Amino acid sequence: LELTDIFVVSASVLIILVIRILDKNPAPILGIYQRPNGLYWVKVCFMYSVLSLRKLLKKDDKSKYLDIEKPQKLSHHEKAIDAIYLNGANKQGDYLVVGTARRKNLLVDGFLYLKINDSNLGVLESPKLPGTALYKTDYSEEYSAEGIEITPVEPMRKWRLTFRGKMKENGDRNKVHDVSIDGIWSSDLPYFNFDNDMDPLCMAKSMAYEKFSRTYFNVLNANHQTHYEQFGILQASVKIDNKNYDIQLETVRDHSFGVHREWRQFKRYGLHFFSTQKGDRFSLGQICLPINFSRLTVGYIYLAKDKKIYSVQDCDLELYQHGHFGTPPRDYAFSFTAGNKKYVVKVNVIDSPYFYISKDWEAKIFESLCEFEVNGVKGWGAAEWQYRNIEGKTVMDYSENVR
């Protein structure tokens, strides 16, 4: 063969190889979780450039938190949302998880779980659980309904939690107790804003799984919500019947609000909130919202020794490997990288109560109360696992628990 012939053959083989690589379009795992196609790394590079530039140009204005650290005016949308969530635990085995999401027409998606180890009562839950549709008695803009109230005191520093009412034992819902909670959540730790603080490369990789189009980016923009988190300490006085308890919990507080939230769009997610003996705080997991992201990795850590937050750079927690068929895992592990350091997390679930969110029971959410171990260091906290509930109120739990 002459040199020209060799060049033509080599070029043809190279072109065919490039076409085959770019034409690679594997089927989604379980028909849901997208896999890298031939343009995956091209899309990663493109989105990394866009997100890095956006992060550089969009500086976080700390003064805006004076305006958003309080109830927000609900949008015109029928699915408008403004939500506050607290999730706390300690090494003694005490847990508290509470949420109030303000919706339209006086609806509040609200719930409360409480476990005080010394009480020997197990997990206590608010009266309407596993349903969460609570209702306000007026149109005041407050995070409160049916005995639960979460009130801002000082932006990014202090919030108040109170509860007055009945709580049921999760293990036997016929057993009811009179409960009061008076607590103050306080913090001097930095916050993490998911709009600005996510790792650009990690975000780019999550986005690159999806099929890019004008419609895709329009939907992505339409579904945007503001979401930020901050760890702190919740100190609370609790009275159960005639017994008093004082608890102190390492507690994450998050605030989410946006034009709308449609729980029916979420397929699944698995999120972990925990603290360790070293004073480090963790929030990370994966979200499957197929209309936007089928495999979105999110999260950050706060390192006490550095007094600094590091965003998660990658995580091998895959939803299709953990509890895909509706029951969350109870003993599992995963690893992730943040601040260029690798962490191995072991999770052991102690209790796993669940509820159905909002008035139509659109999703089933487990609040798994857990023990953690991170690189050999003991920790405590919770894992929140969400599943789309396509049965709505026809699910058996509705007929068994709603009178």
pLDDT for position 243: 98
How far, in Å, CA of 376 to CA of 26, rounded? 38
- Give the three-state DSSP class for 241: coil
What is the biggest distance separating any 2 CA atoms in the chain, rounded to whole angstroms?
A: 97
Is the overall model pTM greater than 0.75, yes or no?
yes
Tell me the per-residue pLDDT of 117-157, one tens digit each, with 9 for 90 and over: 999 999 999 999 999 999 999 999 999 999 999 999 999 99
How far, in Å, CA of 280 to CA of 75, rounded? 36
How far, in Å, CA of 350 to CA of 137, rounded? 36
For residue 101, give Cα distances in angstroms to 105, 132, 384. Answer: 12, 10, 16
Query: Strands, E, within 30-171: which ranges?
Result: 81-89, 95-102, 107-115, 123-125, 133-135, 143-145, 148-154, 158-169
Identity of the amino acid at 240:
I
**Which residue has tokens 């709308």?**
260
**Which residue has tokens 């609806």?**
107
- CB atoms closer than 10 angstroms to residue 401: 14
Domains and CATH numbers, the chain: 40-401 (2.40.370.10)
Per-residue pLDDT of the chain (403 residues; tens, 9 = 90+): 566 656 555 655 565 555 555 557 899 999 999 999 999 999 999 999 999 999 888 876 777 778 899 999 999 999 999 999 999 999 999 999 999 999 999 999 999 999 999 999 999 999 999 999 999 999 999 999 999 999 999 999 999 999 999 999 999 999 999 999 999 999 999 999 999 999 999 999 999 999 999 999 999 999 999 999 999 999 999 999 999 999 999 999 999 999 999 999 999 999 999 999 999 999 999 999 999 999 999 999 999 999 999 999 999 999 999 999 999 999 999 999 999 999 999 999 999 999 999 999 999 999 999 999 999 999 999 999 999 999 999 888 887 887 5
Chain centre distance of CA 281: 15
Tell me the per-residue pLDDT of 57-84, one tens digit each, with 9 for 90 and over: 887 677 777 889 999 999 999 999 999 9
Nearest to 304 by CA among 377, 369, 383: 377
Angle at which helices 200-208 and 40-57 pack, to 10 degrees? Answer: 140
